[in-house]
Amino acid sequence: MILVTGASGKVGSEAARLLGAEQQPTRALVRDASRAPLAGVETVTGDFDRPDTLDAAMRGVETVILVSPAVPAQEIAVIAGAVRQGVQHIVKITSKASADSPVERRRGQAQIEEYLLAAGVSYTLLRANAYMQNILALAPMIKQSGGFVMSAGDGQVGMIDARDVAATAVKVAVSPEAHVGRTYWLTGPDLITYDDVAKELSDALGRTVEYRRTTPAEHRAAMLQAGVPESVATSNAQAFGLIAEGDAAWLSGEVASVTGTAPRPLRTFIADHVAAFT
């Protein structure tokens, strides 16, 4: 049995869908049962803040695909529950984790990874570059104003479709033996700037979509004004500032080497989601 946490989210929902389609015995953990009506998949409700629900969800599970907002106390609770329940392998979705990063989220990921490595359960780390799905958050602004505000400058990003992160996680979870203790760096096929995003959106929509550059400080203020929680706005603005400096300009071939299939380019992502921008 494979348990997918965060099964209503970007990676978790696709991982559960793929496992269901492959008829792998799968349990999808969500906190709201109405969020995950997945064919061929057992749904279990649970909350990362309630260890009793995690233990119940992990009974009889061999492998966990661990996706969460990466709050250290929450993911550590999931890992502890997995160890208690005799889970054999954890596939952890992570990012460019670093204990001395200026970005709180990355320090949190480093803390979780450190706990996982010492927990005595076998693991695989999937360190993903930024998701193309983040572009969907720009849709309301694009619909309203014909463009988007962003503080990533001309920084390139090895942006990946979250569906390819999910496909990689599924491949590992179904046959973990070859991936024990491995770390894979996951990216899309191309280095993309936000000018490229604007151009691809313009081509798909048949009208100009503008990329309006702003500074990380102004961007943070705008996110706060739009109701984004302070810690998220701060981490996002820091991450975009780092992107402007080249921090996300990395590519790898590891999606294809694990799954046997090339990751989706930006054009495919936008074609598949064009309705969100119209």
Binding residues for ligand NAP (CB under 6 A): 6, 8-12, 31-32, 35, 47-49, 67-70, 93-95, 105, 109, 128, 130-131, 134
Nearest CA to 269 among 206, 191, 201? 201
**H helices present in 28-71, as ranges:** 51-58
CB of 117 to ligand NAP, least distance (A): 16
**For ligand NAP, the closer CB: 146 or 265:** 265
**For ligand NAP, the closer CB: 146 or 268:** 268
CB of 11 to ligand NAP, least distance (A): 5
H or E segment to which residue 89 belongs? strand 89-94
- 156/202 Cα distance (integer angstroms): 19
- Calculate ∠ Cα 94-254-256, nearest 5°: 125
- 250/258 Cα distance (integer angstroms): 18
Nearest CA to 108 among 119, 94, 125, 126? 94
- 139/236 Cα distance (integer angstroms): 17
CB of 32 to ligand NAP, least distance (A): 5
CB of 192 to ligand NAP, least distance (A): 13
CB of 219 to ligand NAP, least distance (A): 16
CA 17 from centroid of its chain's CA atoms: 15
- Encoding tokens for residue 131? 């998701």
**For ligand NAP, the closer CB: 47 or 146:** 47
**For ligand NAP, the closer CB: 82 or 130:** 130
**For ligand NAP, the closer CB: 31 or 213:** 31
CB of 94 to ligand NAP, least distance (A): 6
H or E segment to which residue 22 belongs? none
Which residue minimizes CB distance to ligand NAP? 9
**For ligand NAP, the closer CB: 8 or 168:** 8
